[in-house]
Chains A and B, each alone.
Chain A
Amino acid sequence: MKKLIVLLLAFAMVGAVSAQVTTAIALSGEVTLIDQAGQGVFTDYGNGYDTWTLKATEKDGKYGFAMTDQNILDNGGFTVRDWTVWGKLLGGKLSVGNLRDATFRLTLPYWASATIFGGTDRVSGQGVFYVSDAKNGLSFGVNLPYSLTAGAALDVLKKADLGVKYDAKGVGTVFALMNLDLVTPGNVLNAGFKYTGMKALTATAIFQGKFDANTYKAGLGFAYTGVDKLTANLEACFTSTAGVSAYSVWAQGAYAVTDLVTATVGGSYADTGYDVYGAASYDLGAGFSVEGTVGFDSALYATAKLYYGVSF
């Protein structure tokens, strides 16, 4: 493990002397110092990942390379999660690799953990992905998902991903991504609209339809920052999976008491239960923060957590 860290630091320092290369190791996680039962636990990834990222871009942004290793501290060793070689050509951007591309993805503004549908799909997996430059706010994309084993080229076409995005300046952005799979079949339509036409308000609507699996998801999200130091969020979602429906509603207000202290109150209601909570967090600096939470979700709970999130 020590050797791995030294190697990764060496890569990071290479990035430090070259303006065209960005390398970074990002570690994040949380430690529950104590909860209402007097217990504590270390969660090394928190809600996310530890990653090593290498990104190299030509100084004028004409071509580049990116790769990410996920959960680098795993004992399983070094595993590349995604990689991309890309170039600006043919009036757009052409990417080749094991993709993880969010060009035609849309998430709700906050995407709380209580929200059961917070984002549409990315373009992912091995493929050849072209995204046109935006003209009058309109861009489109086509991904041909060539697999690592030889297969019929016609099937690749039948499994293409087709994306479109329209950015109306001063109003918002409309997205759609059709993940075709006429072979299985398993077609998936992702669509959404992000409204930014009113100052301080972001409103997002997203939808995902897996027609062949009879599964549908829809979500609405609002973020409002029009009151000084206050951020208000609301998210509501509905899903139907093969006729079985579920829903969630979540709201939260976060008030910046000072530059370092934030007070939060919120609550969620879903077919699986409810939760109301209040929290206060303090930014310790250098990527560390502490948070105390008291809530009720059919029983009273309380936690004190230490969060860390650093890049180097």
Chain B
Amino acid sequence: MNYRRSLFFLLILSIAVTLLTACATVSAFDPSLPSVIISKASDDDIKAYGRNFDENPYLEPRTLIRGKLNEFFIVKIQFNLPSESKISIIADATAKDGKEAARAYDTQGFIAFWESNIFKDEDNDAQKQRKYTSIERSCVPSMNFSQRAGQNTLYLPIVGANPIPRPAKIYIQVATSSGESVVFNYLLE
């Protein structure tokens, strides 16, 4: 009897997963728009994920005495793909001397970054989980991944110690399996 209840729940869960998977939404492909647009995320883009770093993964961790511990440069990548495509990303942030000034993170790397920088660990850690959900939902899954057809926006966080040494060159290249390649250069001064 006990196991039957669990099996019943798992059955309901499986049906829900199947139904919700069918409902997964992405805006339709628009042939009038470029396949890939790369830009620096705006304050409004970032603010959409929460007001403070406790809930917003794209805001730097901050402490009362030491201030901001890191500096983020958030890259916004907008996809508009006619069909499912393989995506490859190259991301560099180099200082004047050619050394790495900051590092680009994918979803797992960014979650690991926050795991090392979350100062509170409550029994009720829903706030932390909300932050991780935001990362899973919006951060690039890896530097090589498959992207579904249609319009979708992902973010690529570039993270350095605060401050990232100036000047720093941010270089992003996004290539699709259709052969298109888009480059974004930004001089951080």
Contacts and interface: CB of A to CB of B under 8 A. Distances in A.
Interface of A: 9, 12-13, 15-16, 19, 22, 24-26, 28, 47-49, 51, 53, 55, 57, 61, 64, 66, 68, 100, 102, 105-111, 118-119, 134, 167-174, 189, 191-199, 202-203, 205, 207, 209, 211, 214, 216, 218, 223, 256, 259, 283, 286-287, 309-312
Interface string B1-37: 0110110011001001100110111100000000000
A274 B69 CA distance: 43
A245 B54 CA distance: 35
State the 6 A-B residue pairs at the shortest beta-carbon distance, nearest first: A197-B24, A24-B119, A111-B126, A312-B64, A26-B119, A312-B65
Chain B interface: which size bin? 35 or more
Given A12-B65, A173-B136, A197-B24, A53 B125 contact: no
A26 B128 CA distance: 15
A57 B125 contact: no
A174 B116 contact: no
Interface string B61-92: 01111100100000000000000000000000
A286 B65 CA distance: 11
Contacts of A66: 116
A57 B133 contact: no
Interface of B: 2-3, 5-6, 9-10, 13, 16-17, 20-21, 23-26, 51, 54, 62-66, 69, 108-109, 112, 116-117, 119-126, 128-130, 133, 136-137, 141, 145-146, 148, 161
Contacts of A197: 20-21, 23-25
Contacts of B123: 48, 119
A107 B21 contact: no
Contact of B64 (A47, A49, A106, A310): A310
Contact of A311 (B24, B63, B136): B63
B117 A22 contact: yes
